[in-house]
Structure formats: C-alpha cells, structure tokens
Amino acid sequence: MESFPKPIYVTQPLLPDIDELKGLLGKIWDSKQISNNGSMAQTLEKELSSFLKAEYLSLFVNGTIALEIACKVLRLSGEVITTPFTFAATCHALALNNIKPVFCDIEEDTFNINPECIEPLITQNTTAIMPVHVFGNPCRVYDIKKIADKYGLKIIYDAAHAFGVKYLGKPISSFGDISMFSFHATKVYNTIEGGALTFNNPYYKERADLLKNFGIRDDNVNEPGTNGKLNEVQAAVGILLLEKVEGEIKRRQELTKLYRHFLKDIPGIKLMNEVEGADYNYPYFVIRVQKDEYGLSRDELFERLKQYNIFAKKYFYPLCSNFSCYRDIKSASKENLPIAQTIADTVLALPLYGALSDIDVEKICSIISAISIISRGKSI
C-alpha cells in the first residue's frame, strides 16, 4: 500500500478560529492585564466549573503544577499509592513533594489501577491513593473510596485524560477529594498549556488559589507557594475552545467506531475495553499488539508504520516504575507489576483527532492489516 503523502501524527491540537481569537486578544490588549487572574481567567474558571459540573475549580498554568499543588492542599506526606502505567508527571508530582510513590498493578481490561491490589500496599506511612483515569476510562471509584474510607486516606484523581467524562451519570470531577485535569495541546480540550483542580470542599479551593500565587494573601505569606497561574492569552483560547469541544468529542467518537469496525477482525490486535456506564471523551484510540497472532511485536509495528508516514505512540511506555529514578523502590519490581508490564510492552496509540478523515482511518487500518499479512508470509 502507498504511504500517506504527509505525516499522520497521533494527535493534532484543537484550535480556535483565528479571527475570534484576535477579537479576544484585542480585549486583553485594551485591558493591559495579561496575567494575575484577569477577566479572561475569571471567565474561563466559571465556565469550566459549569461545564465539568465541579462545585469548585482552580485554573493552573499546567496540569503538572496543579498536581503538585493538590498534594500540598491535602498536606500529603510519607507514601502515596499510585499506578506505574501513567505519564511521568503523576509520579513526579509526588516525588517533588518528598512523597514516596508506591506502585500498584493495573487491570488488564481497563489499564486502570486495580483496587484489589491496593490494600496489601497500605502501611502506616500511607496518606493517600492517586489513581489515574487512563485514556479517559473511569477507575473503579466506589471500590477505591471504600478502601480510602477504611484507612482514612485521601484520594487525588489524575483526570488528565478525562475532560468531560461522566460515570454512572455523575461527572468524573465529583469523585475523590481532588481531581486534576490537563489542558495541554495534546488533550481533547486545551488552553495550549494549562490545567485545573476541582474540589467539593471550599477550603481546598481557597488553599489552591493561595498556593498558586506564591502563598500571598493580603501582603502576607504564611507558607511557600509557587507561580501556577494561567495567563490571559491561554485563558482566551480556552474560552473559545469550550464552544468547540463537544463537537470534537462527537467526531472522535465517530472515528473510534470506525477504528473498532476495521480492526476487530485483525488477528493479534486487541482493543481496550470501555467501562460500562461511562460517557467517554475519546482522547486516544489504543490497541494492544499480540505478536504470536499478529506476526510482529508492538515495537516492530510501531517502526513499520513510520514507513507509511503514520506516527503512532507507545503510550505509556516505559512504566514509571522502570524509570531510573524510581526503579529502586520495592514496589517497582516487575514481580509486583506483571499486568502493567505486559500492557506497557504491547500498547500502541493510533492517530485520533477531529480533523482526521474517515478515509484516513480506513487506510491506517488497511495498512495495519497488510503489515500483518506480509509479516506472516501470506500474499495480499
């Protein structure tokens, strides 16, 4: 098969109409305020709180700083149980707060932290659980809450992928003590760079707002904070994209259905399960490659796709527990994380974004099928 004439990347940012953005930029320029919680940031915070059905919300310059501040808001210390199958920022937010990440294995069907593996990892030093709604797939939130309540632990959800997701009719932001959302350009919804924390407790909101502004309140500083504020230009992008994100999600849903249709009968290509009762936002389309059936390993397919100008992503690989800065932690051993290790070695994210065409998806799937057939020595 012929390759794509231009590179097809794993994602493409949703962008606002340039003329509409110029209009908001004009207002920002007239105001002469480009940061420090100006009118755009205040407007976006209110609109996002409504969109996500979050009682309280605080905007941040990015999701990583937001997650770091979430740990400080809850005054976490000691150890926090989390997943190794996540982006580096999840574990780094703990480490940068002098908290030891304790790695828990995941579920094979959802890629989320396995609640049945959490309890044996709890010690007298455990202060919280930090699960991740991987690829927008809701965690088993009620099982996790039951464990947290039993041991008096806090829960921070890394909801970086779960913008707008609902579970059993409830917004994903309603679970746990704090949820973190990422608005990076690679996400379904973005502010170029950005993030937010959502809370059900007004004290947490007050404390997050304080800590993202250097800890300053009325010319007084009671504890160290940082500069975590979202600027006015990024907030303007966010305001405009809130009007487009539902259309983006709908289009991604259509493309996901096409992927599932065209890939379902290819031997060795396993599709990620969707959690029953979840309303998705379709942030990524992820497959698993089983070499014994497909004919090539995930890494081999990854490289072969590049020859066709298709740039997939080994997401998440490697496991955070395999990073040199974490691998000496006892819970990071491969024996403790057999499912996570298997998933990380076989998972592959294929291109998915609203501007992708139906024909593009069909061609990507045809190429994946053809590569398998050729690798197994059969003619096409």
Using the predicted structure, report yes or no on whether residue 302 has a pLDDT greater than 50: yes
Closest CA to 70 of 158, 147, 7, 189: 158
Tens digits of residue pLDDT in 313-349 = 999 999 999 999 999 999 999 999 999 999 999 999 9
Q: In what order do the strands lie in the sheet with 195-199?
A: 56-60, 195-199, 178-182, 154-158, 126-130, 79-82, 100-103
Pairwise CA distance, residues 229 & 231, whole Å:
6
Its pTM surpasses 0.85 = yes
Task: Provide the token pair at 222.
Answer: 């009671």
Pairwise CA distance, residues 301 & 230, whole Å:
39
* Residue 147 DSSP label: H
- 380 falls in which pLDDT band (50, 70, 90)? very low
Tens digits of residue pLDDT in 188-222 = 999 999 999 999 999 999 999 999 999 998 889 98
Pairwise CA distance, residues 252 & 246, whole Å:
10
How far is the CA of 3 from the CAs of 251, 311, 364, in angstroms? 24, 12, 9
Pairwise CA distance, residues 193 & 177, whole Å:
24
The domains found in the chain, sorted by start residue, are: 18-242 (3.40.640.10), 245-375 (3.90.1150.10)
Tokens 């044996």, residue?
Answer: 120
Using the predicted structure, report yes or no on whether residue 154 has a pLDDT greater than 50: yes
Between strands 195-199 and 56-60, the pairing is antiparallel
Asked if 14 contacts 241 with a C-beta cutoff of 8 angstroms, the reply is yes
Using the predicted structure, report yes or no on whether residue 379 has a pLDDT greater than 90: no
Pairwise CA distance, residues 363 & 262, whole Å:
10
**pLDDT score recorded for residue 378:** 60
Pairwise CA distance, residues 289 & 368, whole Å:
11
Closest CA to 162 of 170, 173, 177: 173
**pLDDT score recorded for residue 376:** 77
Closest CA to 345 of 375, 302, 285: 302
Tens digits of residue pLDDT in 172-187 = 999 999 999 999 999 9
18-22, 269-273, 375-379: range with lowest mean pLDDT: 375-379
**pLDDT score recorded for residue 221:** 93
Average pLDDT value for the chain: 97
Q: Which residues contact 2 (CB under 8 A, 6 or more apart)?
A: none
Q: Which residues contact 347 (CB under 8 A, 6 or more apart)?
A: 111, 286, 287, 288, 298, 314, 315, 316, 317
